[in-house]
Amino acid sequence: MRKNNIDKNPLHQAERYWRKLGPGLITGAADDDPSGIATYSQAGARHGFQFLWLAGFTFPLMAFIQEMCARIGLVTGHGLAANIRRHYPRWVLFTTTALLFTANAINIGADLGAMAKATELILPEINFNFLLIFFALISLFLEILIKYERYSQFLKFLTISLLAYAASAIMTNLNWGEVVARAFIPSLTFSKEQIILICGVLGTTISPYLFFWQTSQEVEEEHLEHHLRSHSWHQNISDDEVHRVRIDIWSGMFFSNLVMFFIIAASAGTLFAAGITNINTASDAALALKPLAGDFAFILFAVGIIGSGLLAIPVLAGAASYAISESFGWKYGLFRKLKEARAFYGVIIAAMIIGLAMNFIGLDPMKALLYSAVANGIIAPIVLVLIVRMSSDKEIMKEKTNHPAVSSFGWLTVLIMAVASVATIFSLIFW
């Protein structure tokens, strides 16, 4: 009787639910990096509540894709690049890997700059260049020198920082009737600006680095759970384990899109309403909020930028390293010590150095993000095709292949991302 009472206790149920969350939650939260925050802020500042519907629209698409990635990792015991290496031509592997590393390094640079700028807004006496180096070093220290089981828990708790955006939206006295209506009623005018912005939101939400990170993180979790020291896989994945992963991923993607929803809503309810539409970075949005929503909302928004960067930068660097290490057959994995996987950690360091250097050579962050968007636009549809094909292949996935309905959502996502990618590149070059 007592056990049944404990099981029905809301706090106990919440604790059990929290324990089920892991790579999916971290991946979803990492999707809301400072670059993503800038994109969502632009959407709200320039077009009001018009694009709130994108949060609900992209949610099932990204959730199904990330679930496919997770199952590939669980069943095969290898990351996405390692599976591409096994089943597809080398030129496909090396092209996608090179583009991924390039896009991720650019994103790291933009995110480091955004974190430093956000900190500078709160603490203007601290030097910007010092902050850049500090955030780069702290990210490397945590990812390389902290044991994976502790580091993964740190990332998990860091996701809570993104709740700052929900708080900042609630504090802005929004017209919730209009917010709810716009959340369910799609609205679009086919202008160059809106096409690029929608493609930017899609590219930020359904990002290639998340595919590689999710797949490899499921492998990392299995190594942590079963104390494996090699990548040999001799276990059958139970339906209960797949169910646990599904809960984790759908929860993580829902959280990710909820944060997107609140950022667009907060920007629309304050910046757009006040006629402030020139928002190029996340720190621009935070600074513009200050006179409109008060110091506390401004601080919450800025703190969210810092927290999201600390979460996203290691994911960006780690995803690039997983892809390159798996492509060349190097030892990889955050469960390994530095001396066991020098090349793997070397790629992480190289990506961080390139991102850091971008801020010292004066590369405009918005141009950098455009280059990153083009690289992601090329790579995303290609990798998505491979993900859907592999997760539907019985030789690869055994009895854990996609349900036909899941495959349909996968191919729909491929189509949407292909159209968005072509539209983005066409708009940037020819329009």
Give the pLDDT confidence score for residue 355 in this predicted structure: 92
Give the pLDDT confidence score for residue 1 in this predicted structure: 45
Q: Kindly state whether residue 14 falls inside one of the protein's structural domains.
A: no
Q: What is the chain's mean pLDDT, rounded?
A: 84
Q: Kindly state whether residue 347 falls inside one of the protein's structural domains.
A: yes
Residue-wise pLDDT for 110-134, tens only, equals: 889 888 888 888 888 999 999 999 9
Provide long-range contacts, Cβ within 8 A and 24+ apart, for 185-192. Answer: 185/53, 186/53, 186/57, 187/50, 187/51, 187/53, 188/50, 192/427, 192/431
Domain count, the chain: 1
Residue-wise pLDDT for 218-241, tens only, equals: 888 776 666 554 555 545 677 788
Q: Kindly state whether residue 4 falls inside one of the protein's structural domains.
A: no
By residue range, what is the domain housing residue 200?
23-430
What is the rounded distance in angstroms from the CA atom of residue 103 to the CA atom of residue 106? 5
Give the pLDDT confidence score for residue 225 in this predicted structure: 66
Q: Kindly state whether residue 200 falls inside one of the protein's structural domains.
A: yes
∠414-416-420 over CA atoms, to 5°?
A: 115
Whole-number Cα distances in Å, 344 to 223, 315, 319: 17, 14, 11
Q: Kindly state whether residue 9 falls inside one of the protein's structural domains.
A: no
What is the rounded distance in angstroms from the CA atom of residue 379 to the CA atom of residue 220? 24
What is the mean pLDDT of the segment spanning 210-215?
Answer: 92
What is the mean pLDDT of the segment spanning 56-75?
Answer: 93
Residue-wise pLDDT for 240-296, tens only, equals: 888 888 999 999 999 999 999 988 988 888 888 888 777 776 677 776 666 655 666
Q: Kindly state whether residue 226 falls inside one of the protein's structural domains.
A: yes
218: how many CB neighbours lie within 10 A of its CB? 29
Residue-wise pLDDT for 372-428, tens only, equals: 766 777 788 899 999 999 999 999 988 888 999 999 999 999 999 898 888 777 766
Give the pLDDT confidence score for residue 390 in this predicted structure: 95
Q: Kindly state whether residue 422 falls inside one of the protein's structural domains.
A: yes
Which CATH number does the domain housing residue 202 bear? 1.20.1740.10
